[in-house]
Structure 1
Amino acid sequence: MAKLQPVPEPEHTAPAEVHRDDEARAEQIYQLVLEGIVAGKFAQGMRLRERELSEMYDVSRIPVREAIQRLEQDGFVATFPRRGAVVRQLTLTDVNELFDVRLCLESFAARRAAERVGAGQPGGQLKELVDGARRAIDEGRADDVVLISTAFHAEIVRLTGNTLLIESVKPLFGRMRWIFGLAHNRSNELQRDEHVELCNAILGGQAELAASLAYSHIELGRAPVLTGLAETLEP
């Protein structure tokens, strides 16, 4: 079972330090449960009991409760009377809405990233992620391909330098990994080629081309994902 790294607690701990420790534990629990949801360990509709999670991760219920509240805010968990917190049941509408929002935000992010790279912002990490995805595909590491693909899109957003945008899209990328883990019907090689084109446009400072490529890349992924999920998700 996964356990948290111990957070040292001095004999005389100031209130501010205690608060930071609690926040750190809640963040760790958030990430652990989120990974469990994305990986299918916590299936859709499954109850998330505070007591069981606190025992599983060897913490008190307070950080577990805070983590569940965050997961609810970010759309991974729903709370019902008498049932408590459960992993949210995704719908095809949820998937469509995610693609709609990505079209808006990631097209802007690609344009802005290209502008900043063109003005001198280093963009080498983007190329490293493309190369990493190529190696993962060649070696048949499917799970790593999804992780690297998500990291590629997140890096484009990071390159915008827009702190509000960077923080706002974090839950979206969590949903991306969740949904692509359930249905991923496009060729990895095709997606890799699209990532290469997008990467080259951004590194070349071609802002409008980057925005167009980001838009088409996202839209081309919509129908295969919806088709793959049509038999398992409600409308």
Structure 2
Amino acid sequence: MGTTLASQLIPDILTYIASHQLAVGTRLPERALAERLRVSRSPVRSALQQMADQSLLARHPEGGFAVAAAALDATPQAREEVSASERLYLTIARDRIEGELPLKVTENELIRRYQVTRGQLADILRRIVQEGWAERLPGYGWSFVEGLTSPDAYAQSYRFRLLLEPAGIREADFTLDAEALRRCRDEQALLAAGRVFEASPAEIFDANTRLHETIARCSGNAFILDALRRLNRLRRLIEYQKSVDRQQAQRRCQEHLQLIDLLLEGRREEAATFMTRHLGNALQEKQATAAR
């Protein structure tokens, strides 16, 4: 497989096909893939074309690409590749949380520490930069952002969200993006149906933050969306540090489904009240887990 961004996306797209249990002939949504993979639509389009050239996808009668039988056969190998990348990603996250990695580090130091190739490291660093917890310095250096490291700061982040997110739903300029919410609903329904017991902490975190940021974007208030995105970047690493209570995670996904349905039905005030209860429940659960 080549080293272009498009070719690097192919294992992720195959994993998307497997995790969503897509059947042969299912049309692949280019825009949804771009949002999920946190890239522009151009490399996704190139990746889909490459997959078609490899007979992993077929042309859909209504335009775009659809899943071909070969994609289902190729998925296990792709999942294995992604799993190895995920382990390295989480190892770097854990080392940063525990202070094993300094705030500033060079690529060569990371390559020696983790015994990986420069190409493998580039994939991981690309993902970390997209998620906002590191940035490139001039030359070969990288700088990590400082995350939430104390229980008090973590609790404060949830109390801030309790002020911010329900208010976003009540904004006068709130405009429902039904298509984006339905995509989030499909993702949450899959997790609630059992995928949450197999998904990585990163996958669960990404799905949940994608929903909350989608709702914040609907607020029409750019400051609310920006504040939530910044906070989620700080939350990411401490969320990985915590053990995932899969039962609690499933309940939160079920609550997400209720929240989405309230919004899609136009019951905005009920949705804002539900958001307050949902975030309050999540804070109590996480604090109880941390106290054990």
Task: Give TM-score, length-normalised by structure 1.
Answer: 0.63
| Stretches of structure 1 lacking an aligned partner (at least 5 in a row) | 6-34, 77-87
Question: 1:164 is matched with which residue?
Answer: 223
Matched, 1:134 2:210: no
How far apart in 2 are the matches of 1:211 and 1:176?
Answer: 22
**1:160-201 Cα shifts (integer Å, max 9, x gaps):** 122222222212112343333314445233212211111112
Q: CA RMSD in A?
A: 3.3
**1:178-227 Cα shifts (integer Å, max 9, x gaps):** 33331444523321221111111222222211110100000001122112
Q: Structure 1 counterpart of 2:198, which letter?
A: R
> Which residue, 204, 210, 216 being the options, matches 2:265?
204
Question: 1:62 is matched with which residue?
Answer: 138
Q: Which moved more, 1:167-176 or 1:99-108?
A: 167-176
Residue pair 1:114, 1:203 contacting (<8 A) in 2 also: no
How far apart in 1 are the matches of 2:158 and 2:136?
Answer: 37
> Which residue, 40, 44, 52 being the options, matches 2:106?
52
How far apart in 2 are the matches of 1:228 and 1:199?
Answer: 26
> Which residue, 222, 226, 232 being the options, matches 2:287?
226
Structure with greater contact order relative to length (CA < 8 Å, sep ≥ 6): 1
Residue pair 1:114, 1:207 contacting (<8 A) in 2 also: no
**1:62-112 Cα shifts (integer Å, max 9, x gaps):** 2776844xx24xxx2xxxxxxxxxxx6x11101110111010111112333
Change (3 A) 1:220 1:42: same
How far apart in 1 are the matches of 2:276 and 2:213?
Answer: 15
Change (3 A) 1:51 1:149: closer
> How far is the alpha carbon of 1:37 from its aligned partner?
8.4
Change (3 A) 1:116 1:46: same
> Which residue, 143, 146, 151 being the options, matches 2:210?
151
Q: Structure 2 counterpart of 1:46, which letter?
A: E
Question: 1:43 is matched with which residue?
Answer: 97
Q: Structure 1 counterpart of 2:215, which letter?
A: I
3-state SS of the aligned residue for 1:40? helix
| Stretches of structure 2 lacking an aligned partner (at least 5 in a row) | 6-88, 111-120, 123-134
How far apart in 1 are the matches of 2:136 and 2:237?
Answer: 27
3-state SS of the aligned residue for 1:45? coil
How far apart in 2 are the matches of 1:130 and 1:39?
Answer: 28
Residue pair 1:111, 1:207 contacting (<8 A) in 2 also: yes
Task: Give TM-score, length-normalised by structure 2.
Answer: 0.52
> How far is the alpha carbon of 1:115 from its aligned partner?
4.1
Change (3 A) 1:194 1:114: farther
> How far is the alpha carbon of 1:156 from its aligned partner?
0.7
Question: 1:105 is matched with which residue?
Answer: 164
Residue pair 1:146, 1:177 contacting (<8 A) in 2 also: yes
Question: 2:237 is matched with which residue?
Answer: 178
* Identity over aligned pairs, percent: 18
3-state SS of the aligned residue for 1:112? coil
Residue pair 1:99, 1:222 contacting (<8 A) in 2 also: yes
Residue pair 2:105, 2:143 contacting (<8 A) in 1 also: no
Residue pair 2:259, 2:271 contacting (<8 A) in 1 also: yes
> How far is the alpha carbon of 1:55 from its aligned partner?
5.1
Question: 1:10 is matched with which residue?
Answer: none
How far apart in 2 are the matches of 1:130 and 1:38?
Answer: 31
Q: Structure 2 counterpart of 1:102, which letter?
A: R
Residue pair 2:173, 2:220 contacting (<8 A) in 1 also: no
